[in-house]
Amino acid sequence: MCATIALTCLESVKASNNDKALSVDFQTFELDGSVHDMLWCGAGDEIILVQSSDGTVYRSRDRGLSWKRLKNLMAKQARDVADDSQDIGKVHKMLQSPVDDQLVVFLGTNGINWVSEDCGGNVSGLNSGKRIQEFLFHPTQRTWALAASWTTCAEFDDEPCRIYKELYYTKNGGIEWNYITNYVFDFEWGMSPAAKKDGIVIPDDRIWLTRDDTNTKHQKRSKKISWSIDIDLYYSDDYFQTAPVMALEQGNTIIKTPTYMFVSCSNSDQVRVNIYSSTYRSGFTNLRKTRLPADAIATTTFTLMDTSE
């Protein structure tokens, strides 16, 4: 199924005060699928990137007046880094650095990823060796990122297959990845732009994550099916090179904003949860149980609505 991008409107409109017709030109550009995602870059957001549902990326450098399909460029760059029998795949996600909106990473479906320093004007291929499902730029360091990938049975030659989520970090935009730990659920960088602005010291290397350090079998794809007393909240300032700090036992999920962090903590019945919160002024370490209304005591899930803007 194809989609159409309308570049500018074309229509004859009757002027309200006279009989003159107002003509506005418009053009269309056919996509190979529906619009899946859009990004804006550059001064005045003049550059637009569109990802179709078929995994093709389109770029406009004039706010949508003209478009260029990046499929051939990205395929060429991918072939330069792909292994002999590796399928190139297609783009399944686009992400921008919060430090520099011109720095864009395109995650691929088969271990080939792409990075651009100029919002798609030039693209380089990167071979991570395995598919990256989740990717998180650092809030203040331009080329730092965390990424998560699930294991496959093909990785276990001489032992039983175990499917679990692994966490990695990079400090050079994905050229090199370093292993952190496994059986991870949620993860976040510890740094906050608000803390940096206010001069509050938080190590750039600090990471927060929830994980089950007792599991030796398959990991459940979603912890939201049921809460778990085996999942705990940790933070580390050296990517688990030394023992991490357990910040909250039974802490299952993380939702983090520039000023607050909220953590759901499983009750012993693994059905209800308590909500804990902390602020950037303590480096998010001052976790306290929140006061909920009486009719929310039996909370089984929660959604955060940020009204700061």
Paired tokens of 59: 């770029």
CA distance 60 to 67: 5
pLDDT digits (tens, 9 = 90+) for 248-265: 999 999 999 999 999 999
pLDDT digits (tens, 9 = 90+) for 93-139: 999 999 999 999 999 999 999 999 999 999 999 998 889 999 999 99
CA distance 57 to 72: 10
> How does residue 160 score in pLDDT terms, banded at 50, 70 and 90?
very high
**pLDDT at residue 10 is higher than 50:** no
Mean pLDDT along residues 45-58: 95
Res 276: pLDDT: 96
Paired tokens of 193: 């732009």
**pLDDT at residue 158 is higher than 90:** no
pLDDT digits (tens, 9 = 90+) for 191-227: 999 999 999 999 999 999 999 999 999 998 765 567 9
pTM: 0.86
Q: Give the residue with greater pLDDT, 183 vs 306.
A: 183
Average pLDDT, the chain: 89
CA distance 169 to 212: 19
Name every residue whose Cβ is closer than 8 Å to that of residue 189 and which is 6 or more positions away in sequence: 136, 138, 139, 144, 146, 206, 207, 208
> How does residue 26 score in pLDDT terms, banded at 50, 70 and 90?
low
